[in-house]
Amino acid sequence: MKRLCFFDAKPYDKIYFDPFAKEFNFEILYCDSKLNEQSVVFAQGCDAVVAFVNDRVNGTVIQALSGMGISVVALRCAGYNNVDFKEAYGKVHIVRVPAYSPYAVAEFAMGLLLTVNRKLHKAYNRTREYNFNINGLSGMDLYGKTVGVIGTGKIGQVFVNICKGFGMRVLAYDIYPNESLGYEYVDLDTLFSESDVISLHCPLTDKTWHIIDEDAISKMKKHCYIINTSRGGLIDSKALLEALQERRLGGAALDVYEEEAEFFFEDHSEKGITDATLALLSTMPNVLITSHQAFFTEEALSNIAKVTLDNMDAYFAGDKLENEVQYTAK
């Protein structure tokens, strides 16, 4: 029986992983700690590591795992910007879950847009205190508005379909455009200047880091809403905060944050947070922040568990790794 060290474990992980672990004959050691340079020692005696979105799979961690004889890390997520692939090359195989539920994330993105645009979060808080005044709760019709979708992979495609259902005009941008989709692909400057809503669905890479920065924001409409359910590093958070404070944007709905690793998925209600930018963003009336939960549906959690352990099973059986991500020279 192979033993897997499972980092950053939450109660819901056990609910979905345990049945599949029994099916695949894996023993799972659940660790509350995030994977980093200190906690990597917990993997001693295990055959593989299961990591999550905010775990550090950097050079130091990879060297330590390799020294323990561990040669595979299974990411139970789609993104892999937390992995040093150059260091992993020839030492540790990296596998991931490329598509657990594009519907979960795309539907959540639309939920964020509807909430921040129509002030549903503010209305909810008011009525809980028996305040039924609707002053200040107006929003805009989505019908006929232009949405700019950055990233047209599986999640982006589902989001486009949802937006079309609302009667929105869709502008698309992708570093690798898929012309077969029939979308109206435009350059970023056009997307920024013509969109009433901008939604991010691209991976975080060197080319997309801070794709939304001060220069990009300066080209946007003053009523534009920015939605991010992808990766926090796509947005320069300080530039976003400044634009919102100066009322140069309509608002923002963020399920991710570029410095989220220290805070998201944990309860900080008693001690507060030390990130001044995140703290200020969370107090703004036209900003909605959620804790990286866009993926969080029963279907997605089940798919994540099954595909993660499928990947492990394929690795130990010596089969082809369909979901492996490998280092490529730049």
pLDDT, tens digit (0-9, with 9 covering 90-100), for 98-137: 988 999 999 999 999 999 999 999 999 999 999 999 999 9
CA 122 to chain centre: 25
The SS3 assignment for 170 reads strand
pLDDT, tens digit (0-9, with 9 covering 90-100), for 203-223: 999 999 999 999 999 999 999
Q: How confident is the model at residue 79 (pLDDT cuts 50, 70, 90)?
A: confident
Among residues of the chain, what percentage have pLDDT more than 90? 92
Residue type, 81: N
The SS3 assignment for 103 reads helix
Query: Domains plus CATH for the chain?
Result: 2-100+297-325 (3.40.50.720), 102-289 (3.40.50.720)
pLDDT, tens digit (0-9, with 9 covering 90-100), for 18-73: 999 999 999 999 999 999 999 999 999 999 999 999 999 999 999 999 999 999 99
CA 243 to chain centre: 23
Residues sharing a CB contact under 8 Å with residue 324, sequence separation 6 or more, in sequence order: 93, 94, 95
Instruction: Indicate if 231 belongs to the active site.
Output: yes
pLDDT, tens digit (0-9, with 9 covering 90-100), for 270-312: 889 999 999 999 999 999 999 999 999 999 999 999 999 999 9
Using left for φ > 0, alpha for ψ between -120 and 50, and beta otherwise, residue 284 falls in beta
* Helices (H), ranges, the chain: 11-24, 59-67, 85-88, 102-118, 120-128, 154-165, 188-194, 214-218, 237-245, 276-283, 298-317
Instruction: Indicate if 292 belongs to the active site.
Output: yes
Contact call for residues 68 and 85 (beta carbons, < 8 A): no
pLDDT at 330 over 60: no
Residue tagged active-site, from 93, 107, 231, 258: 231
pTM exceeds cut of 0.75: yes
Instruction: Indicate if 260 belongs to the active site.
Output: yes
- Report residue 40 as tokens: 């990597």
The angle, 0 to 180 degrees and rounded to 10, between the axes of the packed helices 102-118 and 298-317 is: 150
Residue tagged active-site, from 292, 299, 322, 324: 292
pLDDT of residue 329: 59
Cα–Cα distance list, 115 to 110, 140, 312 (Å): 8, 12, 39
Residue tagged active-site, from 87, 107, 258, 260: 260
